[in-house]
Each structure stands twice: as structure tokens, then as C-alpha cells.
Amino acid sequence: MLWIALHCPTLSLDWIERRFPATLIPAMAVTVRQGNQIYIQQANQPAQRRGVMARQPLASALSLFPDLILVEHDPNEETKALQEAAYAALRFTPYIVMQGSGLIAEVSGSLKLFGGLKKLCRLLNQAVAAQGLQLCVGIAPTATGAWLLARSAPLRTVVNGAGARLRLLLDSLPAGLLESAQPHLEAIRGIGCKTLADLQRLPRSGVARRFGPDLLIELDHAYGNSPDPQRWLEMPEYFQQKTALMAQVENVELLSVAVQRMIEQMCGWLALRYAAVLEFSFVLHHEYSPRQPHKSTPIKIRLSEQSDDPRHLMILLREWLGRTEIVAPVCELELTADKVTAGPDSNLELFPTSQSETTSLNRFIEKLSSRLGPQAITRLNVIPDHRPEYSQSCQPPGMNNLSCRKAIPLESTHPLTRPAWLRETPLELRVQRHQPVYGSPLKLIAGPERIEAGWWDDAPIARDYFIAENALGQLLWIYREQNPAAKNAGWYLQGLFG
């Protein structure tokens, strides 16, 4: 087995910073109470530039910068931020473990799919960091070993303990990294043990008697001397995520980072279930105001074919947001996967196939529809009816079988010649010397073809159709009523060829 641990040393600060647009992050700090005193646990970069530091009394910090924004340490919000990051990590492996202030992923089954350990580690690190977390990464054949290496790594660095290097790297780690050693740190340091190697050299019976069995168990788990079972993270049956914003946002561009994170989370959830989305909804929740009664702005996106590609889904949602008017400041975002199907059986094809070409065309149509609006894109649906007015209909892309007449192709031993362009309403033609005229007198070159139908739905026709040519060489499809004595017995233009 091979494990990648992602440790977030600034989690207590990251969960709040990630809810601000990058340009609106203020100077702020996280506070923690110790006895009767309140201390600064962590401070972000703007606060540090004003002299606010970790482990500083609150009174001292406020004396340096009175406008400092204070946030109380909230373990529940930290856990929620880690869960959202775990959604994004599921795109690379289904085996994720929540561990304190980070995640541990078992990736041995994903190495070949993502091009090896180095590339997989980079992709996984980028996906979780894109969720607004600052990471330290550790790699090891044991889960506990990877976690200890990640906790010892400097910010934004990777410590690779795969293979024979694990024991050497673990031996040099400080004993204070072990969670089971926290209650006994003074005693451990008092006997001269500074590293894990020092603890390993002590008699096991004496360590167990003095510090309890948990210390030896954690050491054995880290070095791989005993099994280290883990409990995989379980995800809900349905995907619905909400993200509260810490600033009132009135510009769509400021929402792009938060929207991208939510799309990545949904695609991770889809990857876990080997599924794809056909329809999803995105809701902008607005700040309440007596002058503005709008509580939310919903956006519902329907795809012509299933997709689990975050880039494609983000393009569609960005186009929709670009056409959406923000009627009031946005305070919360909500993303829901409304219709989910089994995922596509994608293959690594050497040459393009008809399926991949169809997918490209469908994605182009979806992007165009998102940019121009669904009413701007239609497709022709063939209807088995000989009457030209009823032989086709226009429908939105992806909306199949909306007509009461199903699109069943007509089978005929003699294929019929039909024009590519049909008029919505036939145009009555002038008649000159008993000849129909359209720009010039028309010459009949084929016909008649009799069409008599529609007696079943109170729209009967009885016509003789001809192919005619004018002086410019244009071919036209014209007809006249079968009964010459009828009131509308003139000539009519039905369509154009070419």
C-alpha cells in the first residue's frame, strides 16, 4: 500500500479565509481560550504585517492593531472544510481518511491511471489546495508514517518516504509529533528521548509500563510493524453543498473561485460513485433587505449528455452566470446534483471515434446554449407525416420526444426528393399566362407528386407537387390544389432546393 498524507497546519485560519474573495481578505486572527486568558492561535499575512503573532495575548494584539478581525476557534467548521476538500480528492482515489487537521489517501490503485506517483501527488496536492487549504505532504507505505512525515514537513513541501527511506526519515522525527506522547512529553524529554529513534531503542516493556501501550502501538503503525486499519470516509447518497460567503458579493467575477471549488467537489462525489450528472442546479442566496424582496436566484442547467468533467461543467456554469443579473448582494452559494446517471465507459482511444466526435459536438452546443440562452439553439426533429407542414419540428437540444408523433424514419423503396428549406407558411405565387412566377416564369421539370393526407386530424390536404426552375437556375418546390375549382386553386411555393 502507498499513502499520501495532506496536512493543513493553518486549517483554523484557512476555513474562514477561503470564504472571502481573494481581493477582500482582511487582517484577521483566530483566538483560543486557555484558562482565563484569550490568546491568538493563528494570524493571517495581513495581520502579521501589523505585528500580530501566534501565542500573543489578545490584549497585546488589539493594542497593535485595533481593527483586527477576530474569529473564535471552531472545530466544526474546520471539519466541514476538510470534508469539502475530501470531495475534490475523491477524483483521484476512493480511499480517503479524515485525520485531525488533514487527509490521508491510499493511492496504490491509482498510480498507473494518473501516470505515476510524482504526477499523482502533484494533481492531488493541487486539487486539495484549490479548495483554499495550505498543505504539507508526506508519502509513505504506512498511513501513520505518511501522516507523521506530513506534519514534520515545511509548508508547501513534499516529504517522500516511499520504500527504504521510511525508517531513516521516521527515526529523525521529534517525539513530540506522536499524538499518544502528548501527555508524557516532559517525562520523555526528561529521560533524554528527542526523536522516534530514541524511543525505539528503549525497552518495550518499560515504555508500555510507564507511558501506556498506545505509544508503542502508534510507533508500530508508523514503522509498519503491525497492521494499521483505517476507516474510509463515507459520502452521502445525494450531493448538495452550500458555501456561506463572509463578504457581500455583487460581482460575478468574485464568485468564480468559490464556484470552481463547488464544481470540483461535485465531480469528486460523482467519481466516487462512477456516475455522471445530467442536470444540476446552482442557487445564489441573497442578503435580506426590505427594499429587495428577492431571496435567491436559481440557475438550472440541463446537459444534452451526461458529464463528469469539471472543466466542461465550469464553462457552462460560467456562461450562465455571465448572463445572470445579480439583483442583490450574494451571501451564500448552493450546488445540487439533481439528475445523476451511471458514468460513461470512457476508453483511452488512439484515434477519434464517432462517440468522441459526438461528445465534442454536444459540448459545443451546450456551451453555445449557455452563452446565448436555450431559446437560441434548436434542432430539427423528423416526424413521419407526408404533409410538409407537419413533417418536422424544432426542439431544444437534448429534449427528446416532446412531440406526440415519434421520430420514426419512413421506409420507402423509392426515396423522395425534398428541399432542404421549407417555408413555415406557403407563399402564394403570381400567375402569368397560366404559369407560376417567382422572379421569372417557372418551368416545371418534375412532377406531379400527389400528397393527400391529414383526414384523421381535421387538417386534410390534397395537392400536386412539382419541381420548378426559374431563369436563375434555382430549383423550387411548388404545388397547387388537386381540385382546380377550389377557392385557393392557385400556385404556392413550399420550399427551396440547394
CA 35 – CA 362 distance, rounded (Å):
62
User: Is the confidence at residue 405, as pLDDT, over 50?
Assistant: no
- Sketch the domain layout of the chain as residue ranges: 3-165, 174-223, 240-357, 421-496
Mean pLDDT of the chain: 85
Query: At residue 411, does pLDDT exceed 80?
Result: no
Mean of pLDDT values over 325-348: 82
pLDDT of residue 404 exceeding 50, the answer is no
Percentages of the chain per state (helix, strand, coil), in multiples of 5: 35, 30, 35
| Residue 483 pLDDT exceeds 50 | yes
The candidate with the shortest Cα–Cα distance to 427, out of 379, 482, 363, 496, is 496
3-state secondary structure of 271: helix
Nearest to 401 by CA among 381, 424, 371: 381
pLDDT: which is higher, 247 or 63: 63
Pairing of β 491-496 and β 379-382: unpaired
Query: Given pLDDT bands bounded at 50, 70 and 90, which one contains residue 387?
Result: confident
Q: Of residues 48 and 370, which shows the higher confidence score? A: 48
Is residue 39 a contact partner of residue 57, using CB atoms and an 8 Å limit? Answer: yes
Residue 407: pLDDT band (50, 70, 90) is very low
3-state secondary structure of 147: helix
Render pLDDT for 21-36 as a digit per residue (tens, 0 to 9). Answer: 888 889 999 999 988 8
pLDDT at 287 over 90: no
Q: What amino acid occupies position 285?
A: H
Compare 358 and 182 and report the one with higher pLDDT: 182
Fold identical between 3-165 and 240-357?
no
For residue 399, name the pLDDT band (cuts at 50, 70, 90).
very low
pLDDT band for position 406 (50/70/90)? very low
Output the nine-digit C-alpha cell for 345.
Answer: 465507459
Burial 107-124 (b: 16+ CB within 10 A, else e): beebbeebeebeebbebb
Among 58-67, 194-203, 209-218, 476-485, which is the least confidently predicted range? Answer: 476-485
Residue 430 DSSP SS3: strand
Asked whether the predicted pLDDT for residue 268 surpasses 60, the reply is yes
Residue 158 has pLDDT above 50, yes or no: yes
Residue 418: the pLDDT is 82
Would you tell me which CATH number, out of the four given (3.90.1150.10, 3.50.50.60, 3.40.190.10, 3.40.1170.60), belongs to the domain 3-165? 3.40.1170.60
Q: What percent of the chain has a predicted confidence (pLDDT) above 70?
A: 87
Q: Which residues pair with 301 in a beta bridge?
A: 280
Beta pairing partners, 475? 469
- Determine the pLDDT at residue 3: 95
What is the per-residue pLDDT across 213-257, written as a single tens digit (0 to 9) for each? 999 999 999 999 999 999 999 999 999 999 998 888 888 888 889
pLDDT digits (tens, 9 = 90+) for 93-123: 999 999 989 999 999 999 999 999 999 999 9
Per-residue model confidence (pLDDT) at position 401: 40
Residue 181 clears pLDDT 50, i.e. is over it: yes
Q: Say whether domain 240-357 belongs to CATH 3.30.1490.100.
A: yes
DSSP state of 13: H
Mean pLDDT, residues 332-357 taken together: 71
Q: Cα–Cα distance between 44 and 48 in angstroms, integer? A: 6
Give the mean model confidence (pLDDT) for residues 357-369.
63
Average pLDDT (195-213) is 91
User: Has residue 471 got a pLDDT over 50?
Assistant: yes
pLDDT range class, residue 376, cuts 50, 70, 90: low
pLDDT at position 389 is 79
User: Strand 430-432 and strand 296-307: pairing?
Assistant: unpaired
What is the pLDDT at residue 459? Answer: 81
Comparing 13-22, 239-248, 269-278, 411-420, the range with the smallest average pLDDT is 411-420
Average pLDDT rounded to a whole number, residues 46-58: 92
Residue 377 scores a pLDDT above 80: no
Residue 423: predicted pLDDT: 85
Beta-carbon contacts of residue 106 (< 8 Å; ≥ 6 apart): 1, 2, 3, 93, 95, 97, 143, 230
Instruction: Identify the pLDDT of residue 240.
Output: 94
Nearest Cα residue to 9 out of 81, 118, 102: 102
Supply φ then ψ for residue 338, to 5 degrees: -80, -40
